Structure 1
Amino acid sequence: MQSAKLGMDGIILAGGRSSRMNGQTKALLPFGESAMLDRIISRMSLVCDSLVVVVATEEQYDAMSGRGVRTLIDRLPQQGPLAALHTALEQTEPGKLHWATACDMPFISETAAVWMKQKLERSGKMAIVPEIGGKLHPLHAIYRTECAVAAAEFLAEGRLGMMSLLDRIDFDIVKEKPFAEAGIDVRFAFNMNTPEQYEKALRMEARL
């Protein structure tokens, strides 16, 4: 799919264990006419200049590569999304903007991503993160490459959570009302960790 060349790259984190999904790999679950990962790649390719998928193991690499996008093996596998994000960011050029998502988010919104990117460009801050349902969603957010420095510091300290990164960088928050005023459906923040959530997502898709 041809990119719109909007000055933004995409990062898909797909290295989780899927431990609550009864052993099924979330990225490869069928969703509509394709696998979850292919669905996300298709949506992100609409607005990203390039995409990278970060996995944790050689087995995941074999299962998820060959989709026309770069695939990286996490340098700190199974240490959580912050480590995976750092693996991708540390290999990119300074000054780039990156839309980071997870492989279990079937309703990601390229419209929301572009809208947040534009706000981030105007603010000059390090990242912009949506707050939906009173909860921050750092895996449907936009980050500058320079966030890799703060991520590396926390990983060296053994602090592995995405919220640790947000503790150290200057970032903007976008709440539900501005998204609604812009006509953006906030279901983009929905993610699936369990079979029940997967079934709910399939029902949501059927109603769209």
Structure 2
Amino acid sequence: MIEPVGVILAGGLSSRMGGGDKGLLALGGVSLVGRVRVRLQRQVGSVILNANGDADRFDGLGLPVEPDSIAGFAGPLAGVLAGMDWAANAGASHIVTVAADTPFFPTDLVERLLASGADLAMAVTPDPERGQARHPTFGLWPVAARTELRAALNDGLRKVVQWTQPRGCVHVEFAASPFDPFFNVNTPADLAKAEAMVAEYDL
């Protein structure tokens, strides 16, 4: 397997944060997406950003910006497809996706996903009620599936798990202590909590 391309998913509407680019909000003096970029670049050879609208607003990141090719804010799967298309042109066989609003994801995310030996894999954490909590925007995806994914999106499919589950997606479990590494910033209260986590865990 050729080293996967890292894809930061930032194509959402940020409605719970009041709109705008929540990834550009500062956390400990660094933007959320800036923190995500650094964390991901340490794990892969190349990183791109999936985002819609004016790409110039992300100039400071120094990353290629790829918009969705499916119109109408079709959700994270549209971002996955955009990443697959870019990776196909770069000659990569897989991508690894992460969310732009989740700054503390595991530093061994890519290593563990690849070690699963799976073609399609998703991060999960232990959950006392459900057994496992899935994190659908953190996964390993085969570029060869892009034609199939495009067709599904054009047919109206939007939920990640509805696409991954029938395809034998492997779950890779990560520890959720001393903090949840997949904590994501959706609201101003979440941002305040993230600031506290940065201070408490020296993140």
| Aligned twin of 1:161 | 159
Q: Distance in 2 between matches of 1:65 and 1:161?
A: 30
Describe the SS at the equivalent of 1:130: strand
Q: Distance in 2 between matches of 1:129 and 1:184?
A: 19
Q: Identity rate of aligned residues, in percent?
A: 24
Describe the SS at the equivalent of 2:140: strand
Do structure 1's residue 75 and structure 2's residue 69 form an aligned pair?
A: yes
Report the alpha carbon displacement of residue 17 of structure 1 after superposing the two structures with TM: 1.0
RMSD of equivalent CA atoms = 2.2
Corresponding residue to 2:139 among 128, 138, 141: 141
| Aligned twin of 1:88 | 83
Do structure 1's residue 52 and structure 2's residue 45 form an aligned pair?
A: no
Q: Is the 8 A contact 2:14 2:186 kept in 1?
A: yes
Q: Is the 8 A contact 2:9 2:49 kept in 1?
A: yes
| Aligned twin of 1:3 | none
Q: Return the letter of the residue paired with 2:66.
A: L
Distance 1:95 1:186, change over 3 A: farther
Report the alpha carbon displacement of residue 147 of structure 1 after superposing the two structures with TM: 3.1
1:52-74 Cα offsets, whole Å, 9 max, x none, are: 1011112xx12113422211122
1:163-183 Cα offsets, whole Å, 9 max, x none, are: 2221342221123xxx34xx9
Q: Distance in 1 between matches of 2:111 and 2:188?
A: 31
1:108-130 Cα offsets, whole Å, 9 max, x none, are: 2231321221223xxxx321112
Corresponding residue to 1:32 among 24, 28, 31: 28
Do structure 1's residue 114 and structure 2's residue 107 form an aligned pair?
A: no
Q: Distance in 2 between matches of 1:9 and 1:201?
A: 27
Do structure 1's residue 63 and structure 2's residue 57 form an aligned pair?
A: yes
Report the alpha carbon displacement of residue 185 of structure 1 after superposing the two structures with TM: 6.4
Q: Distance in 1 between matches of 2:80 and 2:144?
A: 12
Distance 1:156 1:31, change over 3 A: same
Describe the SS at the equivalent of 1:104: coil
Q: Is the 8 A contact 2:87 2:95 kept in 1?
A: no
Q: Is the 8 A contact 2:122 2:140 kept in 1?
A: yes
Distance 1:55 1:193, change over 3 A: same
Report the alpha carbon displacement of residue 30 of structure 1 after superposing the two structures with TM: 0.3
Do structure 1's residue 128 and structure 2's residue 126 form an aligned pair?
A: no
Report the alpha carbon displacement of residue 186 of structure 1 after superposing the two structures with TM: 6.5
| Aligned twin of 1:42 | 38
Corresponding residue to 2:13 among 14, 17, 34: 17
Q: Is the 8 A contact 2:25 2:32 kept in 1?
A: yes
* TM, length-normalised to structure 2: 0.85
Q: Return the letter of the residue paired with 2:101.
A: D
Corresponding residue to 1:193 among 169, 172, 186: 186
Unaligned runs of 5+ in 1: 1-5
Q: Is the 8 A contact 1:97 1:144 kept in 2?
A: yes
Describe the SS at the equivalent of 1:189: coil
Report the alpha carbon displacement of residue 84 of structure 1 after superposing the two structures with TM: 1.4
Q: Distance in 1 between matches of 2:178 and 2:141?
A: 21
Do structure 1's residue 103 and structure 2's residue 100 form an aligned pair?
A: yes
Report the alpha carbon displacement of residue 24 of structure 1 after superposing the two structures with TM: 4.5
Deviates most, 150-159 or 12-21: 150-159
